[in-house]
Amino acid sequence: MELLNKADMGTTGTGMKVSMFVTCIGDAVYPRIAEAMARLLARVGVKLEFPQGQTCCGQPAFNSGYWAEARRSATTLLEAFADSDFVIGPSGSCIGMIHHYPKLFEQDPVRLAMAEDLKAKSYEFTQFLVQVLGVSDLGAVFPHKVTYHPSCHGSRLLGIREEPMTLLHNVKGMELVPLPFAEDCCGFGGTFAVKMADISGAMVTEKADHVLDTSAEVLTGLDMACLMNIAGQLRHRRQPVRVMHLAELLYEGVSGA
Amino acid sequence: MSSVKERADLALNNDFLRKAVRFTTERLRDGKRKAADDHGNWEEWRERGRQIRLHTIAHLDYYLDRFAEQARANGAHVHFASTGAEAVQIALEVAARKEAHTVVKSKSMVSEELHINRALEEAGVEAVETDLGEYIIQLAGEAPSHIIIPAIHKNRYQIAQLLSREAGEELPPETSVLAGFVRRKLRAKFLEADIGMTGCNFAIAETGSIVLFENEGNARMVSTVPKTQITFMGMERIIPSWSDLEVMATLLPRSATGQKLTVYMSGITGPRRTADGDGPEEMHIIILDNGRSEQLGDPEFQELLNCIRCGACLNACPVYRHIGGHAYGGTYSGPIGAVLTPALNKNVAEWDDIASASSLCGACYEACPVKIPLHDMLVYLRRRKVEQGYGNKLETAGMKGFAAVTSNSKRFHRALKAGRVLQRVVVRNGEISARIGPLKGWNRYRVAPSLANQPFRERWDTLQHELRASVAQTVTGAAAQERMKAALHKRAARPIDRKEGHSYDE
Amino acid sequence: MMNNEYNDWLKTKEAEARKKQEQFMDRIAGKLKRSRLREAPEHPFRGAPMYWRELEWSLEERLARFEDNFTAAGGHVARPADLEAAKTYIMAKAQALGARYILRQDDPTLAELGLDEALAATGAKVSVWNGHRSEAWIARAAEADFGIVTADHAVAYTGSLVVQSAAEKGRSVSLLPTTLFAIVPVERLITRLGEVLQTFDAAGREALPAGIHFISGPSRSADIENDLTIGVHGPGIVFALLVG
């Protein structure tokens, strides 16, 4: 019922606390994507916070079986977002990891409650835009041939399928071409790409083949880890396909860059 | 024993194998999707299937006991085997008592677990696989590499060679000729065999019946012609009733091959009746544990027993598609094998080997007709290995370092700064292509991006001021506030979901 | 003597199995952290989803769907108006395919068909399953060009014939001959699989025959390079004659 009180606070004008979860890759490697997300959300009237205590969702450790280590990273998010009303991240996979927190903290009653709370208030960027804000057209213009890779965790585990499509279909001037075998994993899988490098390499090679088959100028998606993987393979093959997170694409489309 | 990595490398360098596996799994995957769509309400059927399996396994002592009693009442001889060796022992005893010379077998994954063919041969009994694919790989001296299509890894030229050797003449690599030869050759075997061995897709508790799904008719042959039938059955194959079979018969063939029903679905209730002119005079049912009961009461793995062995997870798996079934190194391959093999064997030392060969993409879960969260189970296996101290030393050190850096945002920030300095040695045009350290494998197929010159956390102050100026007084601001408020109310009204097991359906 | 010894052995095995069975059940209950379950539990999810149980097609639709499905699986469907027409159909096929030996179930509908005499006149031989108890009937079935059965049911939704075994109705008749004919009186054609399956629950264990077979087309395999081949073990040619 604490949440209801917070909602009421919103009506009194104090506003709600909407926090950015930029993810470790977003912070360290792709700050431009986190920035594009922030600018788009600001355009539709959302006042954002960036709690500096956040680091990483802990997924690399969690998926490799190192749960004690994963809890240490995850705790930074539990604490950084403890008093947030909404937590928005540009990654289906990292938000998906937050959905594992109740399991990760099942032996720790205090953190379990925080984990349930965080799970309930975390949203992937397009999920928040379309489902919560009801925004499906940002007025973006992007006169290019684009193809879209639906990353596994966002689409399969969080069920984010329609949201990015809705946003993409409303971009003016853009030709959206379907990616063959779109739902196949790109082969990233975190430490999988390091431990099983050759299997992962075969998978990303196949994914890049499919991207090239579309002859799209731009590949977009919702997970920068997957995009980093595919972009890395395309660059390795010296292919000029531009790889952009959907937030970047939309922001470029609205700012006329 | 070789590692999954070495076995996968063999497969990755075998272009034919990869093409063959990709071609067939893609067809099966598309067929399954179409069949599920045509049938409609697939999610409701999946959930129904899952519920029936969950219910049966949760009450397995009642249903299994009931099945055994009913099967006995039908005149079958029921045996229980805790291990594969015990099951083999019982089957060999029956064969010896029957003075059997030849055993014909229909496809059975359980019998693959037992390596029964080898045991029979050692006892001087000829064992003949009669499913076309199984027969081919038996001639090749190999194990099946797919649950449904055992010889998925063989091409027609290899098959023609194997069958020509058997025929004593050169057979052309034409499917109809090859299949025709097998029909004639095995027809004679069916008629002369002393014992027919089958597996069991489902066992119906209420009537003590076993149910077999197949397309070729060989399982019918094996259970109609020889005088003695031996059926191997995993202890979890039970469903309560024939009515429940409708759900399984809807899920299994569609998920396996995209068929509405396999060509043959046979319910066998005991040996032949006294006046019958065919069917086995004697029927033995050997019920096998072999690690299955280990999963009971384990909230992370009990659902593994819900598996109906359709192979849909193999066809959906991008890793399986690239490395084929043999790379998994066990009886069961693909995602189900990666979990089932270590789970049944409780072999800690080898857990990570197979469980690591997955990108955790969840395609297996999505394809599974009874919704087994295999991708989660793979993570649980990895965790158990680490918890028991079998983690890779280098990885363990790396993860400790990861936790040290990411458990504190100041340390995290300092690490980013340090990384920025250190990477100068290798960064060219914002990219790293040198195959060094942990990037060795990665950069064989890709280039890596460099760390940004300024992480987001350093950008935020400036950006925040810029944004604040624009947000506060816009009209959309109010609209957004309203929408968010509504979302908060909705969230508060929703009880937190703490049900057992997994849940992604929100 | 050998038989006695064998039966004694079976008894020993049964005693062992029963002991083992108790251990199995105790272990299951122990693993599930509860006491042994002796009574049937309530089963709230039994059978198909509720919406599905209401599906029932008209006869015309059942006939059409059965034909579509059975044909798609590689089977042949004909709709003779009566048994006489069915006989004519089979006679024509026997001639076209050069059938020399025909085996049929011992069933009043098939007796009424009058095939035996009619085919004998063409020089072909017709046998009736289990007619003489001393005959090696399985071997006879393996030699037969045609096997003829009456289906106990047919299912439109899956395109399946259902045949149940009995002394007069050998399992071999629908399995070993090269070609299978199944006479389906149209009133036996139902919509859903579940309509047949639930009758087995209702009948109960003691009423079930040893073999219940759903047949949905010719025997097939795709085990060689996923290339479909027909007739790999069972009949490669299957006719469903929907009579009436």
Which segments of B250-352 are extended strands (E)? Answer: 264-268, 282-288
pLDDT number for residue C3? 81
Do A97 and A154 share a domain, yes or no? no
A237 in contact with chain B, both atoms CB, cutoff 8 A: no
In a domain, C49, yes or no: no
Count of residues for chain C? 244
- Average pLDDT for residues B86-103, to the nearest whole number? 98
- Closest residue on chain A to B357 (Cα): A196
Contact status, residue A230 vs residue A186, Cβ threshold 8 Å:
yes
- Average pLDDT for residues B256-273, to the nearest whole number? 97
**Tokens standing for residue B469:** 């100026």
Is pLDDT of B325 > 50? yes
pLDDT number for residue B381? 93
CA separation (Å) from C218 to B197, C159, C225, C229?
Answer: 23, 12, 19, 10
Task: Quick: pLDDT tens for A180-196.
Answer: 999 999 999 988 999 89
- Cross-chain residue pair B467–A39, CB shorter than 8 Å: yes
Q: Which of B43, B479, C141, B422 is nearest to A43 (CA)?
A: B479
Contact status, residue B39 vs residue B250, Cβ threshold 8 Å:
yes
- Average pLDDT for residues B253-274, to the nearest whole number? 97
pLDDT number for residue B472? 54
Structurally, chain C folds into a number of domains equal to 2
Report the gap between the CA of B449 and the closest CA in chain A (Å).
7
- Cα C83 to Cα B484: distance, rounded to the nearest angstrom: 72
Find the CATH number of the domain harbouring C238. 3.40.50.10420
- Contact residues on chain B for A61, CB-CB shorter than 8 A: 399, 402-403
- Cα A42 to Cα C71: distance, rounded to the nearest angstrom: 61
Structurally, chain B folds into a number of domains equal to 3
- Average pLDDT for residues B177-188, to the nearest whole number? 96
pLDDT number for residue A193? 92
Q: Which of A84, A161, A12, A13 is nearest to B488 (CA)?
A: A84
- Closest residue on chain A to B406 (Cα): A73
pLDDT number for residue C135? 85
Task: Quick: pLDDT tens for B121-145.
Answer: 999 999 999 999 999 999 999 999 9
Confidence at B350, pLDDT banded by 50, 70, 90: low
Residues of B (85-104) whose Cβ lies below 8 Å from A: none
Find the CATH number of the domain harbouring B172. 3.40.50.10420
Lowest mean pLDDT among A109-113, B46-50, B441-445: B441-445
Contact status, residue A232 vs residue B446, Cβ threshold 8 Å:
yes
Which of A113, A131, A149 is the C-terminal boundary of a domain? A131
Domain extent, residue B468, equals 461-490
What's the whole-number average pLDDT of chain A?
Answer: 93
Of A65, A102, A236, the CB nearest to B386: A65
In a domain, B426, yes or no: yes
pLDDT number for residue A257? 54
Amino acid letter for position A89 = G
- Cross-chain residue pair B471–A47, CB shorter than 8 Å: yes
Do A124 and A60 share a domain, yes or no? yes
The residue with tokens 């997870």 is: B313
In a domain, C51, yes or no: no
- Contact residues on chain B for A80, CB-CB shorter than 8 A: 409
Is pLDDT of B504 > 70? no
pLDDT number for residue B2? 78
Domain extent, residue A189, equals 135-255
Do A77 and A150 share a domain, yes or no? no
Do C122 and C193 share a domain, yes or no? yes
pLDDT number for residue A107? 96
Which of B236, B269, B290 is the C-terminal boundary of a domain? B290
In a domain, C223, yes or no: yes
pLDDT number for residue C184? 98
Which ranges of chain C have pLDDT less than 50?
none
Task: Quick: pLDDT tens for B37-81.
Answer: 999 999 999 999 999 999 999 999 999 999 999 999 999 999 999
Domain extent, residue C22, equals 1-41
Do A172 and A118 share a domain, yes or no? no
pLDDT number for residue A6? 42
Task: Quick: pLDDT tens for B356-413.
Answer: 999 999 999 999 999 999 999 999 999 999 998 888 899 999 999 999 999 999 999 9
Chains A and C share 3 or more Cβ pairs within 8 Å? no
In a domain, C104, yes or no: yes
Report the gap between the CA of B186 and the closest CA in chain A (Å).
39
Is pLDDT of A33 > 50? yes
ipTM of the complex: 0.97
Do A151 and A224 share a domain, yes or no? yes
Is pLDDT of A73 > 60? yes
Chains B and A share 3 or more Cβ pairs within 8 Å? yes
